[in-house]
Amino acid sequence: MGIPEQKPQNGMNIAPDGTIYEILEDGTIKRIGKVSSNGEFEPFGGPKEGIRVRDGFIYRVINGKEQKIGRVLPNGDIESISQKIKSEAEISGNKVKIVAILSVLIAFIIGAGIYLFEEEQEAKEQRVREAKIAEEERMKDEEYANKIKPVYQNYLNETSPKVEKLDSYIKQLNNLLELQDLKYDENKDEVNKIVTKIEGKKEEILLEEKKKAAAKKAKQDAEAKQAEEERKKQEAEAETAKKAEEERRQREAAAKKAKQEAYLKGRKIGGLIGSDRSSKEMNWNAAKRYCDTLSEGGYRDWRLPNIDELKTFIGNGKGGNGGLWSSTILFDNPELAWNVSLRDGDKYFNYKSNDFHVRCVR
């Protein structure tokens, strides 16, 4: 059943959406209220003052009291009682009932339509709101997954992070904020939380490094102190050893000197020192080698004496039988060399191949 088209006229009228309004004599339109789905009129003026529709009649409520001001006609028009177009006495009871039923039905249809429309609109708006919220959540998740999570995951994957690496992650995250690369406040808050967490880790590492550096320095200082003490100890030991070595050398030199003095005693004649006599006799060439290689009395610069040195050294003999070789060769026969007799101290010449004792000089 459709709603009949309304023809606005002076007095009270009802619009297709159920709104009741009154056109005053000066043409002014005054909105009074709206017909509800149950046939009751919901006044714009509140529950105590406004308009109600009941049994096809329209009532104005003033201070809680009803005043009949009009009714709904069969064609859907509203008749104002003030116009007195038709008297109530001319309308039969059946027509009144029909009009009342129609008005209620119209009001119900209008109210139901309005209700369903509003319900559908509310549902549609709710779906739009939910879709918008879902889309925002998706975009938030996408923003987090594409921009924040990769940096945070790299941080979480660090097994032994360095301060420089943590600074890099902090810089990347702060750049997302400074460049306004994050749209949602929740993700910005999450970045701040992650930055705070990484900065805390950085402080822990710096503190640990500081402790390690202090421990390392303390160890180095202790090792340096120990090394210095060891060096001083070694220097003291070296000095002691040096003094001991110097004392040993002095003792050896003194002993050597004493030994040499004892050795020279009785062996020094004039400017010469004579060695002990060889234990065996030997030819002239062997005698010369004997003196050249002799080491005796701490000396190694021995030589075979010439005939004059040997004769002076031997003196008047008293050396027993045999003789001593000299280095002097007979001028006219190089196969002969002079020797001195141990018995009488005289000089003789003999073939170099003969054997005599040797006494070297220096």
**3 state DSSP class of 14:** strand
- Least reliable range by pLDDT among 188-202, 245-259, 274-288: 245-259
- Give 316-335 pLDDT, tens digit per residue: 445 567 889 999 999 889 99
- What pLDDT is attached to residue 316? 47
Structure tokens belonging to residue 362: 């220096």
Is pLDDT at 299 greater than 60 in this prediction? yes
What's the mean per-residue pLDDT of the chain? 80
- What pLDDT is attached to residue 191? 92
Going by pLDDT thresholds of 50, 70 and 90, the confidence category of residue 356 is very high
- What pLDDT is attached to residue 73? 75
The CA-atom distances, in angstroms, between 341 and each of 43, 197, 319, 328, 360 are 175, 115, 8, 15, 15
- What pLDDT is attached to residue 102? 66
Residues 6+ apart with CB under 8 A from 352: 283, 284, 285, 335, 336, 337
Report the run of H or E that residue 278 belongs to, with start and end. none
Is pLDDT at 306 greater than 70 in this prediction? yes
- Give 146-164 pLDDT, tens digit per residue: 989 999 999 999 888 888 9
The CA-atom distances, in angstroms, between 58 and each of 19, 25, 35, 345 are 13, 19, 11, 187
- What pLDDT is attached to residue 86? 44
For the chain, the first-to-last Cα distance in angstroms comes to: 163
- Give 109-140 pLDDT, tens digit per residue: 666 666 667 778 888 888 888 898 899 899 99
- Least reliable range by pLDDT among 49-63, 231-245, 249-263, 346-360: 49-63
Going by pLDDT thresholds of 50, 70 and 90, the confidence category of residue 88 is very low
Contact status, residue 300 vs residue 290, Cβ threshold 8 Å: no
- Determine the average pLDDT of the residues in 88-104: 56
- Determine the average pLDDT of the residues in 32-57: 65
